[in-house]
């Protein structure tokens, strides 16, 4: 467990004088006391070898048969028993050196051994990385955390947060803790509610994020705030988010513009990557891509830039086409998109059938394509296109013999998303560099979108963001043309965070909400405390809140966020180890003036 080596101060007492992973040839002939868990045990013809593990690593112990009582105790030890030993450090012979261990050049000849805790048989092994069900791992998480990889993940997380704190403090940030018990907000995800004993019938809410508090801190005159903030949202689990709770690096700054925030965050991420990881950043400063551009090129606002494919717009080619399916999608709000796979025109029929199945799963009615073979263009579309259209298509897309091009047509955003899903699907054809971090900023999000169901204008992202152009834009432009100072930071297809330059001017806020159908009274009712604060002297400010769990996940190259959280819940938002959520005593409910009204089972309804 080399991640902790060199960062541990030994507290010498009767249990230990040294750590296992820090012993080396310079320790030769030293009498040491070690403490830890029995990682492995081997009996080699009269000698018992024990791999003793603590959080720094492993030392090999040797128990000799001459000490009969000690030898008998060692022979009966179960794996993961906790022992303390005393012994002399000796050098291993050249043939027995273990280069995989930091302490692999030495071993400790044991002269005394005390068993502090006898371990019963384990539900799964610690020393060997065998496949274990997630349910079992979470139920016995305290054992799972002893395993090398996840143990190092948690140590890495601790070091990362310490490095973040030091970096931001050097940049003038002040760490401030905001409340955990706060008021419920009707926006966003579902709140976790906490009943109040002192105020019957009223509830606190656990914060979905410290958003309003951190903005109020800017109004309070603190120039730069940060917090490693716990956030609580009653939503379903995802691979990149733990259900129920997660941590984010919450940041806010006064008197800044968008470029200032980008510079601060890019500098911090570069520092963390360079000093704590073997990974490398693909491009620095991070590229900036507008929302419109990222959807056109990648079909998603969370692009994995490592995939060497880009969607191309071929709408103008089909304005006067005889193929009505494409021609009808060349008017405003619609498009025809193409995705080229170089050298894949000769794939089997099964390849295309699987691709079409995936396209249908993404919401497409099918997947049109053209293969460019030696004998000429082939595929279901060829008979609908003229020779001139095929020729122009080949020229514009740079098509060669052996290539294949896929098409989608329809309304702009759904078509982009379908092609973006296919780009990700075809990404499996390429070997992506797992050590490359392709960060990018997604900028210029639209302030509003049209809600087809409600037939009205809605906010598309964050209603408290400053519109680009401020009041003039709100008064003179079509709502769907107004952009906001909103931004996301994305890495390898994972969104790390959203942020914004905030709207700190009450009149602009009232106008922004008016466009979305809110009256002045409704804004005052929901957000009156924020409006009042802004009326009493509010600086321009903005912020962001990168997910700490996701950042650790990326830097540690983990595919599931539960691998970087000490005690995560399962996919059903249950803590299998602590048996949460659980029922509570009737006396507790009475004290809170609550009654349980469970939904009736289907058979009871009948």
Backbone angles phi, psi at 329, to 5 degrees: -110, 35
| Banded pLDDT at 235 (limits 50, 70, 90) | confident
DSSP secondary structure, 542-554, as one string: EEE--BHHHHHHH
pLDDT band at 244 (very low <50, low <70, confident <90, very high): confident
Domain that holds residue 325: 308-431
142 and 107 belong to one structural domain: no
| Among 332, 335, 329, 290, residue whose Cα is nearest residue 311 | 335
In a domain, 194, yes or no: yes
- Residues 427, 339 share a domain: yes
Residue 336 lies in a domain: yes
Please give the biggest Cα pair distance in the chain.
Answer: 96
Which of 59, 83, 117 finishes a domain? 117
Residue 312 and residue 202 share a domain:
no
If 0-12 CB within 10 Å is exposed, 13-18 middle and 19+ buried, where does residue 218 land? buried
- The terminus-to-terminus CA distance of the chain in angstroms comes to 59
Query: Does 422 fall in a domain?
Result: yes
Whether the pLDDT of residue 557 is over 80: the answer is yes
Task: Kindly state whether residues 322 and 406 are assigned to the same domain.
Answer: yes
How far is it, in rounded angstroms, from Cα 165 to Cα 386? 63
- Model confidence at 6, pLDDT cuts 50, 70, 90, reads very low
Give the H/E segment covering residue 336.
Answer: strand 334-341
* CATH number, domain containing residue 56: 2.40.50.140
Instruction: Say whether pLDDT at 4 is over 60.
Output: no
Q: What is the pLDDT of residue 130?
A: 87
Strand 106-117 relative to strand 193-195: parallel, antiparallel, unpaired? unpaired
Q: Which residue has the higher pLDDT, 176 or 462?
A: 176
Residue 452, pLDDT score? 87
Give a yes or no: residue 181 inside a domain: yes
How confident is the model over 560-589, as a mean pLDDT?
Answer: 94
Cis peptide bond upstream of 581, omega within 30 = yes
99 and 165, same structural domain? no
Are 207 and 99 part of one and the same domain? no
Asked if pLDDT for residue 604 goes beyond 70, the answer is no
**Minimum mean pLDDT range among 6-20, 47-61, 240-254, 294-308:** 6-20
Same domain, 103 and 70: yes
Q: Which residues pair with 234 in a beta bridge?
A: 190
Question: Using CA atoms, how far apart are residues 175 and 231, in angstroms rounded to an integer?
Answer: 16
Sheet strand arrangement including 312-313: 312-313, 334-341, 404-411, 368-373, 376-378
Residue 271 domain flag:
no
Domain end call among 389, 409, 431: 431
State how many domains the chain has.
3
Q: Kind of pairing, strands 439-443 and 486-491?
A: antiparallel
Alpha-carbon distance of 459 to 35, in angstroms, equals 59
In angstroms, what CA-CA distances link 16 with 30, 41, 86, 249, 571?
13, 20, 8, 37, 40
527, 510 Cβ separation under 8 angstroms: no
Residues 6+ apart with CB under 8 A from 42: 48, 49
100 and 145 both lie in a single domain? no
Task: Name the residue with tokens 């020393």.
Answer: 127
CA atoms of 490 and 280, how far apart (whole Å): 15
Measured from the Cβ of residue 541, the count of other Cβ atoms closer than 10 Å reads: 25
DSSP 381: T
CA distances, 500 to each of 58, 468, 504 (Å) = 47, 11, 12
Kindly state whether residue 320 falls inside one of the protein's structural domains. yes
Helix/strand/coil for 397 = helix
Task: Check pLDDT > 70 for residue 171.
Answer: yes
Is 521 within the bounds of a domain?
A: no
> Residue 474: inside a domain, yes or no?
no
Question: In the prediction, which pLDDT does 242 show?
Answer: 78
Same domain, 242 and 148: yes
Q: How confident is the model at residue 67 (pLDDT cuts 50, 70, 90)?
A: confident
CATH number, domain with residue 344? 3.30.1360.30
* Residues 424/305, Cβ–Cβ less than 8 Å: no
> What was the pLDDT predicted at 601?
72
Same domain for 326 and 366: yes
Residues 328 and 385 in one domain: yes
Query: What is the pLDDT, as a whole number, of residue 99?
Result: 92
Mapping DSSP onto H, E and C, the string for 211-251 reads HHHHHHHHHCCCCEEEEEEEEEEECCCECCECCEEEEEEEE
Strands 288-290 and 439-443: parallel
Of the chain, the percentage scoring pLDDT greater than 70 comes to 96
Residue 1: the pLDDT is 46
**Res. 605 pLDDT band, cuts 50 70 90:** low
Q: Give 484's DSSP letter.
A: B
CB 278 within 8 A of CB 434: no
From 381, 399, 431, the end of a domain falls on 431
Phi-psi region of 234 (alpha: psi -120 to 50; beta: other; left: phi over 0): beta
Reported as a single tens digit per residue, the pLDDT across 69-121 is 999 999 999 999 999 999 999 999 999 999 989 899 999 999 999 999 999 99
Mean pLDDT calculated for residue range 469-495: 97
Are 141 and 110 within one domain? Answer: no
Q: What is the pLDDT of residue 18?
A: 95
pLDDT(3) > 60? no
Tokens 């079509």 label which residue? 478
DSSP secondary structure string, 422-446?
Answer: HHHHHGGGS---TTEE-EEEEE--B
What Å distances lie between residue 213 and 154, 176, 208, 227, 580, CA to CA? 29, 10, 12, 11, 29
Judging by DSSP bridges, how do beta strands 334-341 and 312-313 pair with one another? antiparallel
Average pLDDT over residues 527-547: 95
Name residues whose C-beta falls within 8 Å of residue 168's C-beta, 6 or more positions apart in sequence: 175, 224, 226, 251, 268
| Residue 148 belongs to domain with CATH number | 3.30.930.10
Average pLDDT of the chain to the nearest whole number? 93
pLDDT score recorded for residue 185: 73
């Amino acid at each position: 467990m080399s991640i902790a080596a060199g960062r541990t101060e030994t507290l010498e007492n009767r249990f230990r004088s040294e750590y296992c992973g820090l012993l080396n040839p310079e320790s030769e002939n030293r009498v040491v006391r070690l403490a830890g868990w029995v990682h492995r045990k081997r009996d080699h013809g009269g000698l018992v070898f024990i791999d003793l593990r603590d959080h720094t690593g492993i030392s090999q112990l040797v128990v000799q048969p001459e000490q009969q009582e000690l030898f008998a105790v060692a022979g009966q030890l179960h794996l993961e028993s906790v022992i303390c030993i005393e012994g002399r450090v000796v050098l291993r012979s050249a043939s027995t050196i273990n280069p995989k261990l930091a302490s692999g050049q030495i071993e400790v000849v044991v002269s005394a051994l005390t068993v502090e805790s006898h371990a019963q048989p384990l539900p799964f092994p610690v020393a060997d990385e065998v496949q274990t069900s997630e349910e079992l791992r979470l139920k016995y998480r305290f054992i799972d955390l002893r395993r090398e990889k996840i143990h190092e993940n948690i140590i890495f997380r601790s070091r990362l947060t310490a490095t973040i704190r030091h970096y931001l403090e050097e940049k003038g940030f002040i760490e401030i803790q905001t409340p955990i018990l706060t008021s419920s907000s009707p926006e966003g995800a579902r709140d976790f509610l906490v009943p109040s004993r002192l105020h019957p019938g009223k509830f606190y809410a656990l914060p979905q994020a410290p958003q309003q508090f951190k903005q109020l801190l800017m109004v309070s005159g603190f120039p730069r705030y940060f917090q490693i903030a716990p956030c609580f949202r009653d939503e379903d689990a995802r691979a990149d988010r733990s259900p129920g709770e997660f941590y984010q690096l919450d940041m806010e700054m006064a008197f800044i513009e968008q470029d200032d925030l980008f510079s601060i965050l890019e500098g911090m991420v570069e520092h963390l990557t360079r000093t704590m990881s073997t990974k490398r950043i693909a491009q620095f400063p991070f590229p900036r891509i507008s929302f419109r551009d990222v959807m056109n090129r990648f079909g998603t606002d969370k692009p994995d830039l490592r995939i060497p494919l880009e969607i191309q717009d071929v709408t103008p080619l089909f304005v006067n086409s005889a193929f009505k399916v494409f021609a009808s999608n060349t008017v405003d709000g619609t498009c025809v998109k193409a995705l080229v796979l170089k050298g894949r025109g000769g794939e089997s029929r099964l390849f295309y059938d699987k691709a079409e199945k995936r396209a249908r799963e993404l919401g497409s009615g099918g997947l049109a394509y053209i293969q460019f073979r030696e004998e000429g263009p082939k595929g279901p579309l060829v008979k609908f296109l003229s020779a001139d259209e095929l020729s122009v298509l080949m020229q514009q897309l740079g098509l060669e013999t052996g290539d294949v091009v896929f098409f989608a047509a329809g309304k702009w955003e759904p078509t982009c998303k379908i092609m973006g899903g296919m780009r990700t699907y075809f990404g499996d054809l390429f070997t992506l560099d797992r050590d490359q971090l392709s960060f990018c900023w997604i900028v210029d999000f639209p302030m509003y979108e049209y809600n087809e169901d409600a037939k009205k204008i809605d906010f598309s992202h964050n209603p408290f963001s400053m519109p680009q152009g401020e009041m003039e834009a709100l008064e003179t432009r079509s709502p769907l043309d107004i952009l906001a100072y909103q931004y996301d930071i994305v890495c390898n297809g994972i969104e790390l965070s959203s942020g914004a330059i905030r709207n700190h001017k009450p009149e602009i806020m009232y106008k922004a909400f008016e466009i979305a159908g809110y009256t002045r009274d409704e804004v005052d009712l929901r957000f009156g405390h924020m409006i009042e604060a802004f009326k009493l002297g509010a600086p321009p400010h903005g912020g962001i809140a990168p997910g700490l769990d996701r950042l650790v996940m990326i830097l540690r190259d983990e595919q599931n966020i539960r691998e970087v959280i000490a005690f995560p819940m399962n996919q059903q938002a249950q803590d299998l180890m602590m048996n949460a959520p659980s029922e509570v005593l009737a006396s507790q409910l009475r004290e809170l003036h609550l009654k349980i009204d469970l939904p009736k089972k289907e058979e009871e309804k009948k």
